[in-house]
Amino acid sequence: METTAGLRERKKAETRQAIHKAALRLAVERGLDHVTVDDIVEAANISRRTFSNYFGSKEDALLYGEEERVRSLVRAIRERPAGESGWQALRGAVRDELEDMGELDREWAVRTSLTKRHPSLLARQLANHAALERELVQAIFHRDGAGEPAADLKSRIMAAAFLVALRIATHVWIEEQEARPLSQIMEQALDEVARPFP
Partner DNA sequence: AGATTACATGCCCATTGGGCAACTTTGCGC
Partner DNA sequence: GCGCAAAGTTGCCCAATGGGCATGTAATCT
Choices 32-40, 106-114, 150-158, 160-168 (CB under 7 A): range interacting with DNA: 32-40
Among the listed residues 154, 178, 183, 187, the single contact to its own copies using CB under 8 A: 154
47 sits near DNA (criterion: CB under 7 A)? yes
9 sits near DNA (criterion: CB under 7 A)? yes
For its own copies, give the closer residue by CB, 43 or 151.
Answer: 151
- Choosing among DNA, its own copies, none, which partner's interface includes residue 49 (Cβ < 5 to 8 Å by kind)? DNA
All residues at 6 or more sequence positions from 1 whose CB lies less than 8 Å from its CB, including other chains = none
Residue 59 CB, shortest distance to DNA, in Å, is 7
All residues at 6 or more sequence positions from 127 whose CB lies less than 8 Å from its CB, including other chains = none
All residues at 6 or more sequence positions from 23 whose CB lies less than 8 Å from its CB, including other chains = 35, 40, 44, 58, 61, 62
Q: Are 148 and 167 in contact (CB under 8 A)?
A: no
Choices 22-30, 49-57, 96-104, 146-154 (CB under 7 A): range interacting with DNA: 49-57
Choices 11-19, 74-82, 139-147, 160-168 (CB under 7 A): range interacting with DNA: 11-19
Q: Are 107 and 49 in contact (CB under 8 A)?
A: no
In the chain, at which residue ranges do the beta strands (DSSP E only) sit?
none
How many Cβ atoms sit within 10 Å of the Cβ of residue 53? 12
- As a 3-state breakdown, the chain gives helix, strand, coil percent values, each rounded to 5, of 75, 0, 25
Q: What is the 3-state secondary structure (H, E, C) of 56-80?
A: CCHHHHHCHHHHHHHHHHHHHHHCC
168 sits near its own copies (criterion: CB under 8 A)? yes
127 sits near DNA (criterion: CB under 7 A)? no
Residue 49 CB, shortest distance to DNA, in Å, is 3
53 sits near DNA (criterion: CB under 7 A)? yes
Positions touching DNA (CB under 7 A) are 6-9, 11-12, 15, 36-38, 45-50, 52-54, 56-58
Positions touching its own copies (CB under 8 A) are 85, 87, 119, 122-124, 126-127, 129-131, 150, 152-154, 156-158, 160-161, 164-165, 167-168, 172, 188-189, 192-198
